[in-house]
């Protein structure tokens, strides 16, 4: 075979390889676009459902109260409790959507504030009580080791992280479980010497998170096969918001096995005081 033919064949092979690579890239992009479109469609459907149910409950009981349809004070109090609970659920969902959007557009700015971890955690536990009661869950605090400890994060962001952890624990855990909110300062060695981080966690008594899913659960719109089979609703944004909020303040997140059983969701944040 002449050198000219070899050169021509080489050009043909390179051209075919290039065309094949382009074809594969196009197919890959098309599949990714299709998968993303499917995820977005699932998200819109899930959010629509998550919005519609609480709004219907709020409207129903508000109308009953306005028209005097609930004569018994106990029934009226129950209706107000349902309105409070559903309003809390809506608040978490709307906050997640707005926060996720602002983080993706880089429109959220880090504020130079410091949150008292134990104080904010106890406030979140109190505000979350109506949602926990719906599933018969009991939320307890294990915060003695965090008294006076401050994290380099604004209070609203800290509350949002905890609310998402708690909602996740109650949603996927069993009825009547005990959910524990804990925090402690941890000394960490680094290049600049010893630093302080605040370890904040929520333990549940659910089935735990399989090792294969522990990285993916932090991705936006992701729902595990087990979660889809369970029929439990969700927008798929909560843990993604937690991850991005923690990262914005120099923190990190993880999921571990809880002591005994269940899952432990952890956020580690820069702290201001050594243990």
Angle at 223 between CA 221 and CA 224, to 5 degrees: 150
- Please tell me which of 95-99, 162-166, 184-188, 216-220 the model is most confident about, judged by mean pLDDT: 162-166
Mean pLDDT value across the chain: 79
- Please tell me which of 38-42, 232-236, 247-251 the model is most confident about, judged by mean pLDDT: 247-251
CA distances for 77 relative to 6, 70, 89, 132, 232, angstroms? 88, 9, 19, 17, 28
> How much is the pLDDT for 6?
47
- Which pTM was predicted? 0.73
Low-confidence winner among 86-90, 174-178, 220-224 (lowest mean pLDDT): 220-224
Q: Rounded to an integer, what distance in angstroms lies between the CA atom of residue 139 and that of residue 134?
A: 12
pLDDT at 15 over 60: no
pLDDT category at 17 given cuts 50, 70, 90 is low
> How much is the pLDDT for 274?
46
pLDDT tens digits along 78-130: 888 878 878 887 787 777 778 777 777 766 666 667 889 999 999 999 989 88
In terms of pLDDT, which residue wins out, 106 or 212?
A: 212
Q: Which residues pair with 138 in a beta bridge?
A: 178
Mean pLDDT of 207-214: 88
Q: Which residues pair with 201 in a beta bridge?
A: 182, 266
Query: What does the buried/exposed string (b/e) look like for 203-221 if buried means 16 or more CB atoms within 10 Å of the residue's CB?
Result: bbbbebbeeebeeebbebb
> How much is the pLDDT for 203?
96
Residue-range domains of the chain with CATH: 115-270 (3.30.565.10)
Q: What percent of the chain has pLDDT over 90?
A: 29
70 in Cβ contact with 76 (< 8 Å): yes
pLDDT tens digits along 37-79: 665 655 565 666 567 777 777 888 788 788 777 777 888 888 8
pLDDT tens digits along 251-267: 999 999 999 889 999 99
Mean pLDDT of 165-180: 92
> How much is the pLDDT for 253?
95
Please give the structure tokens belonging to residue 51: 């919005």
């Amino acid at each position: 075979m002449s050198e000219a033919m070899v050169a021509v064949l080489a050009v043909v092979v390179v051209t075919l390889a290039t065309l094949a690579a382009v074809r594969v890239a196009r197919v890959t992009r098309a599949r990714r676009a299709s998968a993303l479109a499917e995820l977005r469609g699932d998200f819109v459907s899930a959010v629509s459902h998550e919005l519609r149910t609480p709004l219907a409950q709020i409207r129903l009981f508000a109308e009953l109260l306005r028209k005097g349809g609930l004569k018994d004070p106990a029934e009226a109090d129950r209706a107000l409790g349902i309105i409070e609970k559903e309003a809390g659920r809506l608040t978490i969902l709307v906050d997640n959507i707005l926060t996720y959007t602002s983080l993706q557009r880089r429109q959220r700015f880090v504020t130079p504030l410091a949150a008292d971890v134990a104080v904010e955690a106890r406030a979140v536990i109190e505000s979350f009580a109506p949602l926990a009661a719906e599933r018969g869950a009991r939320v307890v605090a294990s915060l003695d080791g965090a008294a006076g400890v401050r994290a380099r994060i604004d209070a609203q962001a800290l509350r949002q992280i905890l609310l998402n952890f708690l909602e996740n624990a109650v949603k996927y855990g069993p009825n009547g479980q005990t959910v524990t909110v804990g925090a402690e300062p941890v000394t960490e060695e680094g290049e600049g010497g010893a630093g302080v981080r605040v370890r904040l966690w929520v333990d549940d008594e659910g089935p735990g998170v399989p090792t294969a899913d522990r990285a993916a659960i932090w991705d936006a719109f992701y729902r595990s096969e087990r979660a889809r089979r369970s029929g439990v609703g969700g927008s798929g944004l909560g843990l993604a918001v937690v991850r991005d909020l923690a990262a914005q303040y120099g923190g990190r997140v993880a999921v571990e096995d809880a002591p005994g059983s269940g899952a432990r969701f952890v956020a580690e944040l820069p702290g201001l005081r050594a243990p």
